[in-house]
Chain A
Amino acid sequence: MKGTGVAAPTLGTVAASCAGCRHRLDDQRNVEQRMPGLTSFGSAYGASIAASRLCLLHDSWVSPADGCAQFSAKG
């Protein structure tokens, strides 16, 4: 089993997924600044966070392969 659940919609080889969305905060330093206390006992540069990042639109964690109807490509 590689993946379970509802995958992000795809067309051809390109996925309109969170990986390419401008709402996904792909800057670890910025993630640390937006999560008070994170650097006290953790890090946004460690293995545990993996590719999870904050979505500024939904204000929640997303993975690169996630997707939603509000996708907006990075400029």
Chain B
Amino acid sequence: MSEATRVLPGQAGTQGAAAARPARWAVFSNEDWWSVWIGLLVIVVAWALFANGSSLKWLAVAPAKWKTLAEAGQGIAAHWPNYLALFAAFALLFGTGLAVLGHSLARFLPAFLTLFVVSLLIFTASAWVEASRYNLEAPLLALALGLLVSNTVRLPEWFQSGLRVEFYIKVGIVLLGATLPLTLLVWAGPVAVGQATIVSLATFFTIFLVGKALGLDRRFAAVLGVGGAVCGVSAAIASGGAVRARREDTSVAITLVVVWAIVMIFVLPFASRALGLSTAVAGAWIGTSEFADAAGVAAAQAYGDAARHAGGAIAGAPDAAVQAFTLMKVVGRDIWIGIWAFTLAWVAITRWNTGDDAVRAKADVREIWTRFPKFVFGFVLASALVTWIASHYSLVDYRKIVTPDLVAPISTLRTWAFTFCFLSIGLTTRLRSLSATGWRPLFAFTAGVVVNVIIGYVLSVHVFASYWNGLGG
């Protein structure tokens, strides 16, 4: 009897309990589910207040436009109870989820307080009437400040507990669902899936085949390929886990995703403006060619903010950039991660197994569901709920009553969640700590980036532009 087949006395009970726990607590077992509950709770509370003639506006406070520093200071001072309540609400919601997931509240709360205060300062800076002239949109400002600080100052360990990029972006995306009519989602969803499928397959096979041609291990090439084709770091982790990749290979894939995602946050909005793209078309392009949800939202929101202050120089509604991005990235690309993972696991185990692999594994079809990004449910449910509420009002009443008292406060809370995320991206991206990649993975991944950007541009701007502009462009 080998080591692997020994009977393990007393272990059956432990393993049985471990197996039962996920089934019962699955809907509280990861950040995806918690982002659904938090986002929907916020929307239901906003709706309850709205239905009773009140509004969440008091809590959903944001800095007003200002011309002088004195005005900015007065704005914060006049609303300090609102900001305090807002901090308490966010801390309660995020803190509850993170505590259940095993994080230390004693570390999270002071870290989140710091993050909240800096986010307020960034939000205030971006409300300066001259901010757009100097490209001080909140996403880019938060990102640049975070990068500067994390790469020049050693941040204390406890502060890392508050930097939950994925959690904040997922909550923000669920809240975003409340501002996107379900009819638009149904109308543009198939286009997003079609465009994403073309681009994802082209990107994956470019990276995989170039990587293989350069002599990379097939598992490594596959992890790189899915990281570039689907949803960045999450995809690299999912595919790395699926093909039982080496830790070092996944680290390299993560490094390449992070570096290219940061580059694209600045390049894609700049290129979109130079090419005169509408907000919706730019959002679709960013959704096709960015490598991570958080990075793409940063780029799309920066472009939307630029459009808001461009005096008509950029066509389309400002919100259409983030809406098109989310449809393209979340609906078009992210939801397929489980299928990618299962398919690659099956191929790796049945075709790439050399027979001398140290770890014996099997592909499990249940991975398709397990790795599915559950926050997408929250996004769709939020859209359906607000669409249903809006169906009880005429268009005039919707704009006069529902938008300012129900939708606008939810949008403000979404912007806060996104700002926490953008600042956290910068503060967690320490370039020196990233793995050295070597030229072959870099070349393979970069080939995929080039293919992705070109095909994404052609499909967004020339093939499906009319669909994307239908979002408000």
Which residues of A (33-48) have their CB < 8 Å from a CB of B? 34-48
Interface string of B354-394 (1 = CB under 8 A from A): 00001111111111001111100000000000000000000
CA distance A59 to B257 in the complex (A): 21
Give the chain A neighbours of B3 by CB distance below 8 A: 16, 69-72
Bound CA–CA A69/B5 (angstroms): 9
B130 at the interface (CB under 8 A from A): no
Residues of B within 8 A of A14 (CB): 7-8, 11-12, 15
Q: How far is the CB of A23 from chain B (nearest CB, A)?
A: 10
**A interface secondary structure, majority:** loop
Stretch at the interface among B247-255, B269-277, B395-403, B460-468: B247-255
Which residues in window 11-49 of A have CB below 8 A to B?
11-16, 18-20, 28-29, 34-49
B30 lies within 8 A of A47 (CB): yes
A54 to B362, CA, bound (A): 16
Q: Is the CB of B233 within 8 A of A40?
A: yes
Is the Cβ of B5 less than 8 Å from the Cβ of A9? yes
Q: How far is the CA of A40 from the CA of B166 in the complex (A)?
A: 8
B246 within 8 A of A: yes
Q: Is there contact, CB below 8 Å, between B363 and A5? A: yes
Q: How large is the interface on A (under 10, 10 to 19, 20 to 34, 35 or more residues)?
A: 35 or more
A29 and B257 CA atoms in complex are apart in Å by 21
Q: Which residues of B are found within 8 Å of A62, using beta-carbon distances? A: 244, 359, 361
Dominant SS at the B interface?
helix
Tell me the complex Cα distance, A13–B16, Å: 10
- Contacts of A8 on B, CB cut-off 8 Å? 4, 360, 362
Interface string of A54-69 (1 = CB under 8 A from B): 1100111111011111
Contact B255 A37 (CB under 8 A): yes
- Decide: B365 and A1 in contact? CB cutoff 8 A: yes
Q: Among A5, A36, A50, A72, point to the contact of B254 (Cβ < 8 A).
A: A36
B232 interface neighbour in A7, A42, A65, Cβ under 8 Å: A42
Distance in angstroms from A39 CB to nearest chain B CB is 5
Partner of A6, one of B32, B358, B362, B373: B362
- Knowing A41-B166, A42-B237, A45-B31, the reply to whether A3 touches B367 (Cβ < 8 A) is no
- Contact: B428 with A39, CB < 8 Å? yes
CB-CB < 8 A to B349: which residues of A?
4-6
Interface size counted on chain B using CB atoms at 8 A: 84
Q: A5, B15: Cβ atoms under 8 Å?
A: no
Q: How far is the CB of B93 from chain A (nearest CB, A)?
A: 16
Binary flags per residue of B291-303, CB closer than 8 Å to A gives 1, else 0: 1111100000000
- Distance (whole angstroms) from the CB of A15 to the closest CB of chain B: 8
Q: If the complex has contacts A37-B434, A40-B165, A73-B11, are A49 and B359 also in contact, measured as CB distance less than 8 A?
A: no
- Binary interface profile of B, 92-115, with partner A (CB < 8 Å = 1, else 0)? 000000000111000000000000
Can you name the residue of chain B whose Cβ is closest to the Cβ of A27?
B102
Among B5, B6, B247, the residue within 8 A (CB) of A34 is B247
Determine if B428 and A69 form an interchain contact, defined as CB atoms under 8 angstroms apart.
no
Report if B167 contacts A (CB, 8 A): yes
Task: Please give, as numbers and ranges, the residues of chain B lying within 8 Å of A63 by CB-CB distance.
Answer: 241, 244, 361, 364
Question: CB-nearest residue of chain A relative to B161?
Answer: A29
Contact A45 B30 (CB under 8 A): yes
CA distance A57 to B114 in the complex (A): 38
Chain B residues near A6: list those with CB within 8 A: 349, 353, 360-362
Give the residues in chain A near B212, CB-CB below 8 Å. none
**Cα distance, A56 to B250, chains bound together (Å):** 15
A66 CA to B429 CA, complexed, in Å: 33
Shortest CB-to-CB span from A64 to chain B, Å, is 8
- Interface CB pairs A-B, < 8 A, 24: A2-B366, A7-B362, A9-B2, A9-B4, A11-B5, A11-B6, A16-B6, A20-B15, A36-B251, A36-B254, A37-B433, A39-B163, A41-B165, A41-B293, A42-B232, A43-B31, A46-B32, A46-B166, A50-B341, A52-B240, A61-B245, A63-B241, A65-B364, A71-B6
Chain B contact residues, CB within 8 Å of chain A:
1-8, 11-12, 14-15, 18, 30-33, 101-103, 160, 163-167, 170, 231-238, 240-248, 250-251, 254-255, 257-258, 261, 291-295, 337, 341, 346, 349-350, 353, 358-367, 370-374, 425, 428-430, 433-435
Contacts A4-B346, A5-B361, A45-B30 supplied; 5 other A-B pairs, CB < 8 Å: A5-B349, A14-B11, A20-B15, A41-B233, A61-B241
